[in-house]
Structure 1
Amino acid sequence: MKHKSLFKWTLDALTSFGQVPLPILFSNQFMKKYTAYNEWNEWVAQSNQNIITIKDFEVEDESWTQFIQHSTAFSSGKEMIEAAEEFYFSQRPYGPFPII
């Protein structure tokens, strides 16, 4: 339970300061594990979408949803974002802020 509250705190802190840039959130490790691509830029280029923010993932568009379903292990953009955030914070439990 302590890990989840730390995760939530870090996520809330990032939300208040700004979000993790998508190319960092979707690390090469994440992309290799959960998609048919090796890196974020390659995947975005194939999507033919203008993906700049997390909100761009949540667009209700049939072709976008189909692309996600066919090229990743996820059924929606929201599900992919949630998994990426969880993966990111499992790798960096304190977020981008080092403990001094």
Structure 2
Amino acid sequence: MSCAVTLVMPRPVKGCKSGIYNIRVRVPADLLATVCRVEISRSLRTREPVEAKERLAAEYAATQRRWAAKRTKPEALAFKQIVSVAAKIYLQLMAAWRLNPVNL
């Protein structure tokens, strides 16, 4: 006897009061500590069921990309890269200060 694992794909959920569809996706177990939530819910900003399904696919793919990004470790920067980033920030701050020296 084989045990089949079923994966439940998210589907659009219609809001009770507004009638606007939402996406609700469970957070993967390995990201629960990072995300600090059990479920992610986002508005699909539509009341049309066909459009909600299309937007659901795009939002679900974006959610999967965000989770993949959270799983990757940050890349260490070389000293030259750190100095370069610091110089860009410094130049932006000085340009803002020249425009309005009081509010910096």
> What TM-score comes out, normalization by structure 1 length?
0.25
Q: Relative contact order (C-alpha < 8 Å, sep 6+): which is higher?
A: 1
Larger Rg: 2
Name the one with the larger helix percent: 1
Name the one with the larger strand percent: 2
> What TM-score comes out, normalization by structure 2 length?
0.24
